[in-house]
Structure 1
């Protein structure tokens, strides 16, 4: 499934002016369950954050979470890094238009090589690790970049179907495919990612499941089914508002339920690691 091209197409529509871009961020906040979890973790972290916290978004993409964090603290210094140069240029332009470029900057970087020792109070990594084969190398680099006592927050698919690869097989080639082809692994085992982070130098690691039964249904309604239809025909863009008019109330309630429950299993993981 080609997920990135659909994201790029939507991005082009909403990036025409800053108002539409902020609207896009808000729509993502509502629709994406992982955003609900990240906002929850950021609210908790803010209670202990220094006023002039230095923050890194490792894999910043469209800049959705950088925007969120920029609104949380007027003195926060935020750096977004991404491997895609076009994303970096796009984000720098947007934040310059919003007159935030004095404390927010984006730069192109390979996370397997990126290290700014003892610089950040918080590092955020949302749906990034599953795309990187040398994940332990990245974890070690992020540990080096944190100040003592700093926190790393990771959102990533679990190995319980998080990349939706469990029933898509190419019989002739013996390869596994799924909803998101860009992933290099099916997802993380909770114990596995905890052990990797410990080896990377983190002293305390807490792992919890996200996307339990309510969240999994909400994800299918709000993300999976629309993207499947958009891959079949771009004409579905016209029908998309009507589709969400019907499904959004259900997905919204399910997201609320999921983020408030403690899950014994789930297709996502939320990880908090302390240096």
Structure 2
């Protein structure tokens, strides 16, 4: 039976955790995954994977893999598939390569450049996903067309990004530094769900699934996690169980009519 587990190697990926490995293992055992935003993101991604015939896939791409947590998750769960972790951050790619060697993950490969430089792979991928990456790219430069070229006919493209309009609960001036970061980094946070769906259709995909995620309760969990992280590691750990419970509660009560994230799955026409 396929088991998809997120965050198995957080203690080995986090530079701070690697400095105190014994303490990191204890924290992991007691609290589980410690970053609330990534935790919520992973729950949403796993829900999206339920919409796909994962066991049929032979070649998968993590487009903008970051630390590689999803690439490791899928390479571990799908030994029959080859997973390509692609990112322009060379440090991330080097760390992914190191961990893949240490754990004997022969089905995890890397590419430290943009998708258009991935040579001789047109029409080879069954599934390409990009989780919270396209919002960092100008709208006209988002690589929908390049991803389509790499997919086989009938292959799937999954895009998850923050929605243009964000639900907020606590006073916004408590998050002023985060808003400053967003203005510089989220140059592509320009879509609501219908916009992203239309963009996928415009690029020649058949849309097979759309959804909002991360409503009010999830937002509260993220806000508490963010503020406690700023307050220091002790406060972060003390607040973590409650913040994660808010994320779970959101999955139970959210009606998906709006939310802070949008996700669309498209299929390349045969």
TM-score exceeds 0.5 = yes
Distance 2:50 2:267 in 1: 17
Q: Conserved in 1, the CA contact under 8 Å of 2:168 and 2:216?
A: no
Aligned: 1:215 with 2:218: yes
Query: Structure 1 residues 179 and 58 mapped into 2: Cα distance closer, same or farther (>3 Å)?
Result: same
Residues 30-59 of structure 1, C-alpha deviations (whole Å, 9 max, x = no match): 7621110111222442xx234552110001
TM-score, scaled to structure 1: 0.76
- Cα gap change, 1:215/1:135 in structure 2, threshold over 3 Å: closer, same or farther? farther
Q: Is residue 130 from structure 1 mapped to residue 125 from structure 2 by the alignment?
A: no
2:80 aligned partner: 75
* Partner residue in 2 for 1:250: 242
Q: Distance in 2 between matches of 1:94 and 1:163?
A: 37
| Other-structure match for 1:35 | 42
TM-fit CA distance, 1:253: 2.0
| 1:12 maps onto 2:5 in alignment | no
In 1, Cα distance between the equivalents of 2:238 and 2:229?
A: 16
Q: How many residues align?
A: 243
Query: TM-score, length-normalised on structure 2?
Result: 0.77
Deviation of 1:183 after TM superposition, in Å, equals 1.5
Which residue is equivalent to 1:274?
267
Q: Compute the displacement of 1:255 (Å).
A: 1.4
Residues 81 and 121 (structure 1), Cα distance of their counterparts in 2 relative to 1, 3 Å cut: same
Contact persistence 2:111–2:118 (CA under 8 A): no
Indicate which of 114, 122, 134 corresponds to 1:110. 114
- Aligned in 2, Cα 1:118/1:76: closer, same or farther, shift over 3 Å? same
Give structure 2 stretches of 5+ with no counterpart.
1-12, 174-178
Q: CA RMSD in A?
A: 3.2
Which residue of the partner structure matches residue 155 of structure 1? 160
Structure 1: unaligned runs, 5 residues or longer? 1-9, 169-175, 230-235
The alpha-carbon deviation at position 149 of structure 1 amounts to 1.7
Would the aligned equivalents of 1:112 and 1:137 in 2 still touch at CA under 8 Å? no
Aligned partner of 2:200 among 189, 197, 203: 197
Query: Residues 63 and 130 of structure 2 are in contact (CA less than 8 Å); yes or no, is this contact kept in structure 1?
Result: yes
Change in 2 beyond 3 A, CA 1:227/1:200? farther
Offset at residue 254 of structure 1 (A): 1.6
Mapping of residues 178-193 of structure 1, within 5 Å = 178-179=181-182, 181-193=184-196
Deviation at 1:69, TM superposition (A): 0.5
When structure 1 is superposed on structure 2, of 178-187 and 71-80 the one drifting more is 178-187
Secondary structure in structure 1 of the residue aligned to 2:185? coil
- Note the C-alpha offset of 1:113: 5.3
